Amino acid sequence: MSVQREMEETIYYGDPAATSGISVFDQDFDEMFSYGGDDLGLTYTSACSAFCLWAPTAQEAEVVLYDTWQQTGGRRLPMIREVRGTWRLTVPGDLEGKFYTYRVRIEERWNEAVDPYARAVGVNGDRAAIVDLRKTDPERWTKDKPPLANAVDAVIYELHLRDLSIHPASGIANKGQFLGLAEEGTRGPGGILSGLDHIADLGVTHVQLLPVYDYATESVDETRLDQPHYNWGYDPKNYNVPEGSYATDPYLPGLRITELKTMIQALHDRGLRVIMDVVYNHVYDGYRVNFTKLVPGYYLRYKRDGGLSNGSGCGNDTASERAMMSRFIVDSVLYWTREYHMDGFRFDLMGLLDIDTMAEIRRRLDEIDPSLLTIGEGWIMETELAGERLANQSNADALPGIGHFNDGFRDAVKGNIFRYGEPGFIGGKSGLEQAVKTGITGGVVYGQTTGQFADEPQQCVNYVECHDNHTLWDKIVLSSAGASDKHRRAMHRLASAMVLTSQGIPFLHAGQEFMRTKDGVENSYKSPAEINWLDWERCASHTDDVAYMKKLIALRRAHSAFRLRSAEEIREKLFFEKAPAGAIAYTLRGHAGGDSALHLYVVCNANPDGASLMLPPLGEWEPLLGGELASSGADGRLTVRGLGMVVQAVQA
């Protein structure tokens, strides 16, 4: 019988009352039992190991010690009940290399579970492992970070770790692994840069990694990595442990920790910060997760009929509003920050989490380093918590310093993601100019007709492509029947240029620079690697498009006018100019952002036949981008030939 199956057979799913008679659903439960100590989980030294478990509804609790990850019948050691629902046990001697679980008795049933605070686990994460974390630090392990003065200076590059290296022509030895992203000097077809060298050469500032915490065995079985496997990883199992399938050996608990740290250090050494995609809004299975085994009914939201709330669409929603769930989320974020030197966090379905928890995360991160980024999906979603308490776009004013993905800008630029054949601004659909302008101004209130959710531009993440939904290229193909590839490439370039010249935080999807395709697959979360991989042969055939993306990133980083720090400055310095339908023009004036005494003029033209505009009479304009598309006459008229972006500059 497998370890996992053995555990499943002992789970009790009821809603037990605590010893005091107070149910986990009573309002007084948190007041009576919430615990504020900093010793939850395992505190290891070579002299002893101290275990602290929060399980107020248990009548008995035990630590079960195992010599191996698959051993049956471990040594059971009773814990002692202490204050506010905690149980404790200190075991003398050096337990390094052992494995452990907790057993709790709830009424007449025993449940066995992994420590929610586990920092290391065995293969497939069914047992916590006891390791000396200091021995997991790589030889070079520094706290130094690449500089970042303001969130809007970031250029984020979203990447699935396996996608980067698994292609046969990636030139990367450690395919699909943490160490693959740490390799330098790798080359793809025709000698193009690949892997880390390619990312660093683009000029982005942050690599955002799809989940790298330990996720469910049902998604990827770490004992069967020799067989085809793939998953994005949005099904958390052990929140504070790296995923074993990305390690060179998932059977060695400390190795995955060392290799992830090695990767992070390699990125830092190349001037790249690291953002971790975290999924605290739901768990992989609401009935089998360690939370439910240890304190049934507490950590998840429930509907009035007793069923699990399911705003996530994944079967459950976590009850982040409850003290010890909120505490766990905050502790987890801080652990990744301190132990792994993470530089930021992207919160999956952030709109399901509560405002207080997200505000506390931001407050605690500010105490460590205000430059650490916090962004998330602030979608407005239905869940069993009042709307005014949710961390979504409509409540952004209560979440300063937290960025929200701008889906309004995304859909206006490329077309609605759920109506596949519907084009957006770049595809010639009329009437979208105003919606596009709300993204150009960073989502802030700009005027009576322009404004979204953001109080400040740091709260707006502009993008047109991410791991979800169709890639930009595939969406363009679906919504531009009969168009040539040349025209589609122009549309793609324009969309990317609009992201990188808009106020707020720009976000790119890995492969967007070479017009990535997933062969039309809309939701590739478990599609074969051949659908998801970064196709380095396609990259080699799109070197001019890669060069264009590099130019866009360099343009943004060279001119602070594209990175204005405040809503007030945006309203003072950004002026929309007269433009024909299907085109948007604006200037950034008056030394915007202290930008080397320049005025900038930007034209986003979606008219395939071109456009004619009058340049503001501010001096002799010179091209910065798109010079091959534009010419100006003595009368100050700018002619844009075909679809694309033109940026011009003049001395102020």
Query: Which residues participate in catalysis according to the annotation?
Result: 348, 377
Closest residue by Cα to residue 490 from 648, 646, 645: 645
SS3 542: coil
Strands in 505-610 per DSSP E = 505-509, 574-577, 583-588, 598-605
CB atoms within 10 A of CB 140: 11
Please provide the distance, in angstroms rounded to a whole number, between the alpha carbons at the two ends of the chain: 76
Contact 299, 292 (CB under 8 A): yes
Please work out, in degrees rounded to the nearest 5, the angle formed at the alpha carbon of residue 495 by the alpha carbons of 636 and 149: 90
**CB proximity list for 171: less than 8 A, separation 6 or greater:** 186, 187, 188, 194, 195, 536
- Pull the structure tokens for residue 189: 């077809």
Question: Which residue type does 272 have?
Answer: L
SS3 548: helix
- Please tell me the number of Cα atoms within 13 Å of 565 on its side-chain side: 5
Closest residue by Cα to residue 467 from 243, 169, 218, 163: 163
Closest residue by Cα to residue 460 from 479, 485, 483, 440: 440
Torsion (CA) 529, 531, 532, 538 in degrees, nearest 10: 110
Strands in 86-205 per DSSP E = 86-92, 99-106, 109-113, 128-129, 156-159
CB atoms within 10 A of CB 591: 15
Contact 164, 532 (CB under 8 A): no
SS3 41: strand
Question: Which residue type does 289 have?
Answer: V
Distance between CA atoms of residues 108 and 6, nearest Å? 18
How long is the chain? 652
- Pull the structure tokens for residue 455: 């109080």
